[in-house]
Amino acid sequence: MTSTHSHPQRLLLGVTGGIAAYKTAELIRLLVKQGYQVQVVMTEAATHFITPTTLQALSGHPVCIDSWDQRIPNGMPHIELSRQADAILVAPASADFIAKLVHGFANDLLSTLCLARECPLLVAPAMNKQMWENPATQRNIMQLQQDAITVLGPDSGEQACGEVGQGRMWEPEALVEGVQTFFTPKLLAGKKIMITAGSTMEMLDPVRGITNLSSGKMGFALAQMAMRMGAETTLVYGHTHAPRPLVSHAHFAATADDMYHTVMQHIAAQDVFFGVAAVADYKPNMRSSQKIKKSEDILTIDLIKNKDILADVASLPNPPYCVGFAAETEQVIEYAKQKRLAKRLPMIVANQVMTAMGNDNNQVTIIDSKGEHTLDTDLKTNIAFKLLTHLKTQLDLD
């Protein structure tokens, strides 16, 4: 967690009785890794599925179960615990517990502190498909949403009972993303942003191609953060092994030509375009339909220039706000400035190839009409947050 985000420091995690409680251990591990302080409160039923000892070890805090917990100084844990929290997340939230929330029942510690809270409440439903589809549960979920309680999930998939259907709790990674999205300021709400990411592959024959070392991580970090900040996000991605974030629209583009056509097909609706992908500048003039056999000592391949996606988007009659990326090996700032002027871009982000490609961290310099803004080395997700926050100030000026 970084100071750039307005993440809550303290999360109260409620665990209710359901088989999905086994996922809560991993959820706590991931939340702690992201810098959250996690205080666990379990219902008595939850302790039959996973032990308080496990969750205590992972959270680093004593687990509370009992309304009469003597460890809380004033003997009022239902008030004390919720006052210390920036948010409450109940995961898993059983059908029974959701019904309690809707009707304001307060017959154990977790339901009482949810009723007495002054902070936001998020719930991650988990139950079998019949319970989820039951009209009572559906009414209750609608009521939670009307009461401004955030409902994360559920998912569809295989369930512990052997059924397949809606009702599975979101996976821990998705829940962490849901929590972080909830707390990220929606600076880009109402904006449509397109981002290209990854590398293209220009095929020589059915098995060989020309590509580069771009991992796609920076573009993916921008897409993930744009989603958290409320933008409708379109991701056009090439070859990458990085896990792809959930976005509004995703399109795979294998080659520079594929990426060009995909971008141009969807660009008219966009407010902002980020050209982060490492698009091949050249492609083979001829592509062999059969595998090229090893024969001569020297193989000569004619390469022809690919279209310049970023330059063509920037020169559209009514272009979106265009942000380029310049990955250079030398004279990084100088080349980036030249590229910005040559392509008529309002903003370009300069970074050093050696430190950027494939790494989780990056160090960049934003160059726009106001000058240079250098961002210190940081995780690519944090760089993305700072870039998008800077972008917001530029959009407001335009």
Same fold, 10-183 and 192-283+301-397: yes
pLDDT at 329: 76
Q: Helix or strand or coil: residue 281?
A: coil
pLDDT at 190: 93
- On the CB side of 216, CA atoms within 13 Å amount to 22
Architecture of the domain whose range is 10-183: 3-Layer(aba) Sandwich (3.40)
- Is 281 part of any known ligand binding site? yes
pTM, entire model: 0.82
Enumerate residues 6+ apart whose C-beta is below 8 A from 371: none
Element (H, E) at 264: helix 256-266
What distance separates the 2 farthest-apart alpha carbons in the chain? Answer: 85
Taking the C-alpha atoms of residue 64 and residue 52, their distance in angstroms, rounded to an integer, is 8
pLDDT mean over 346-358: 78
Q: 17-49, pLDDT tens digit by residue? A: 999 999 999 999 999 998 999 999 999 999 999
As a CATH number, domain 192-283+301-397 is 3.40.50.10300
**Marked catalytic residue, from 64, 114, 119, 161:** 161
Q: Helix or strand or coil: residue 175?
A: helix
- Is 186 part of any known ligand binding site? no
Taking the C-alpha atoms of residue 185 and residue 172, their distance in angstroms, rounded to an integer, is 22
Delimit the domains of the chain by residue range.
10-183, 192-283+301-397
Enumerate residues 6+ apart whose C-beta is below 8 A from 5: 180, 183, 184, 382, 385
pLDDT mean over 218-247: 94
Two tokens, residue 36: 């959250």
Catalytic status, residue 161: yes
- CA dihedral sign of residues 49, 110, 37, 74: negative
Q: 123-178, pLDDT tens digit by residue? A: 999 998 899 999 999 999 999 999 999 999 898 776 666 667 788 899 999 999 99
- Is 291 part of any known ligand binding site? yes
